[in-house]
Structure 1
């Protein structure tokens, strides 16, 4: 039978900062930051403090995100019973320790607002689900040490090294959070394993996106220009802007200023998390201006109304064109090579055109211009080069 009190589940979730009583010494404490935790105030029978008064003490029962209202009431009752018997709960209470999976799931929920997008958040928990939960998911969080972490990491450390590194970071985060909530103590075993170099060194091979040689782009672009598919138009625009796939496919009309000839990609879709302005050339405008007639939310609309093209649309087009050894992302590298070898522009202008972070934090603090005018000149030259064969239809396949 559930214990009763003044608080409800809804109140626990929504009460503002302060100390809120449930009755019988149980309180919900809400910090200004929004963090919520339980405490119980008891008087230990027969024990007095240094001033000779009865020993009245507050004991933490855990965070409200981990400990439910009913669980808090049950623990508070246990503490009061011990206090009445003259037992100090600090030394006699048995706190229920959550499992690794329980803490991990809660960490995932707590951090949802911080994920760049839902996909990244899902990838975070999926890594733990696939490689950690089957081995340590049901274990109490305070019983996980180096051998248990090694059970998760060692089998994939060399074969799937990047995945294993992400897994170790995520296990470390879960264990750190558990320690902050009072469920663990001591050094994080992930840190200890790293410091001891218990896992072999793996020399990661840098994998670059396969790119088209810049000399081949005009002929390829002429072929694209002869096609009517939306994927072809999106790929043409991607080639000209040097933008990433997600930036282009997520492009909305409210981001485009045709009068100022600028596309402003919001920080939410940028890899560096900073807003990026792209100067629009005549050739770029010739691609997107006719698409206004579709009256869609997105510039490059997919098969569903007011929905963008699929992430795979441009890559599948490359395959249908039988263009081997090239990725969509690789056109960024193609543009960068051309900017160095042909345009011979300053490094900062070329890197900023690709929305790369340039310079140290201090340098960026003083150099706040995004060099839009200089980048506009560069992108106009690139557009003229790419569209040089615009009136010739050169079929690649």
Structure 2
């Protein structure tokens, strides 16, 4: 008999990896897939498509079938569906409904009472009863307590179990959860809480919606746990490398949505940043006894880095004069004040504003400075290599636009 196709997922890291290959890092065609067999490619692609069928668009091209994700502002976050996958056996799915039914009908029950109800009220209804031991039932009850589905209570020196009540959600919290699930690290928690309510449209729309990072939520949760408990983090990267780090902070880019783990690497002993989407697995280690020492060093260095780019170089100064007309372009001054981070700005006269900053890596501030092109009067810096490169980039940009204008005139 032909082997039946299995739609189940044993390990979320597996579906996370395939989802990255199929929908984030460029859709891999069958001939590009080298991780496992071509049959694995077909199985995993078909499996993920079944979860994301409401979001997948495709068209026939000369090279074959081309697929892509199409997500509108009104649609739910597609990758949250992947977090609702779970592997199970026939005994697992049987006990899932039976245990919940026993506790919903019979109320609180001890383990012997639950076991008796399962055997007498359910297993006996089959002409060929399932082979289900008391140990299997007990293990499933313990597992559901760990997952938060059931609740273990001690009463009259007995351990009894009941369905864990849903988290109460006041009306004024619902909108907060709709916002949280889209913008915060580990936002999938917000979606899980909303799943217990009748589905309703979110009141928010987002100009930039960074859906791809929801695949990294478990890594983020472990990072936050490590930060809260001041414990070492053991990392396994997708490239196969391993490292150990004392966590300091979690940075999230407002420009790309990318998340970075900032911490002190043990080997080499340096402050570094690691992209969360490059971490395959992350586990908690021992408590760091001298954590505050690392923390104090980080607090000093974080004010020298524009983003997550940390290095051991000396500080470099930067001073820029900007043409921002008072009264007419106050919005630019407001934006500069809001986004300048550790820099300082001041108005020199009605048309000129000075912006000064000291950083260990001036290249990190380039995207911010480029948003003021056309307003820059002069630039001074102690890093002459950076200054030459920045001016050269501007010259190439001006030459490119002038050549396009000349072609248009001709």
The TM-score range, normalised by the shorter chain, is under 0.3
User: Which structure carries more relative contact order (alpha carbon 8 Å, separation 6+)?
Assistant: 1
TM-score (norm 1): 0.21
TM-score (norm 2): 0.20
Which protein has the larger Cα radius of gyration, Structure 1 or Structure 2? 1
More helix by share: 1
More strand by share: 2
